[in-house]
Amino acid sequence: MLLVGIDLGGTAIKAGAISSEGKIVARREIPSALERGASDLLDRMAQLARDLGAQSSVGMGVPGLVDIAGGRVLQSPNLAVIERVRLVAELAQRLALPASSVHLENDANAAAIGEHWLGCGRNERDLLFVTLGTGVGGGLILDGGLYAGPGGMAGEIGHVVVDPDGPRCGCGSRGCLEQLASASAASRRAQAAGLPRSAPGNLVRLAQEARAAVGPERELLVAIGRDLGRGLASAISILDLRCFVVGGGFGAALDVMLPGVREGIAERCYGERLASVRVAQAELGADAGWIGAARLGMLRSRA
82 vs 169, beta carbon nearer Zn ion: 169
Nearer CB in complex with Zn ion: 110/169: 169
> Given the complex with Zn ion, which of 33 and 171 has the nearer CB atom?
171
Alpha carbons 127 and 244: distance in angstroms, whole number: 6
- Give min distance, CB of 138 to Zn ion, in A: 12
Q: Give the integer Cα–Cα distance in Å for 155 and 173.
A: 17
Strand ranges (E), 99-214: 102-106, 127-132, 136-142, 145-146
Which residue's CB is nearer to Zn ion, number 160 or number 293? 160
Residue list 173-192, contact with Zn ion (CB under 5 A): 173, 176
* Smaller CB separation from Zn ion, 167 or 216: 167
Of 148 and 181, CB closest to Zn ion: 181
What string marks each residue from 138 to 177 as x (binds Zn ion by CB under 5 A) or -?
---------------------x---------x-x-x--x-
DSSP 201-258: T-HHHHHHHHHHSSSHHHHHHHHHHHHHHHHHHHHHHHH---EEEEESGGGGGHHHHH
Minimum distance of Zn ion from residue 169's CB (angstroms) = 3
CB of 178 to Zn ion, least distance (A): 5
Is 264 in contact with 157 (CB distance < 8 Å)?
no
**DSSP code of residue 270:** -
Buried b (16+ CB within 10 A) or exposed e, 280-301: bbbbbebbbbbbbbbbbbbbee
- Shortest Cβ 162–Zn ion spacing (Å): 10
CB closer to Zn ion out of 160 and 256: 160
DSSP 8-state class, residue 48: H
How far apart are the C-alpha atoms of 299 and 290, rounded to whole Å?
Answer: 14
CB of 200 to Zn ion, least distance (A): 20
- Total site size for Zn ion, rule CB under 5 A: 5
**Least separation, in Å, of the C-beta of 130 and Zn ion?**
14
Query: Which H or E element spans position 260?
Result: helix 254-268
Distance CA 203, CA 249 (A): 9
Residue 113 beta carbon to Zn ion: minimum distance, rounded to whole angstroms? 24
Residues that bind Zn ion (CB under 5 A): 159, 169, 171, 173, 176
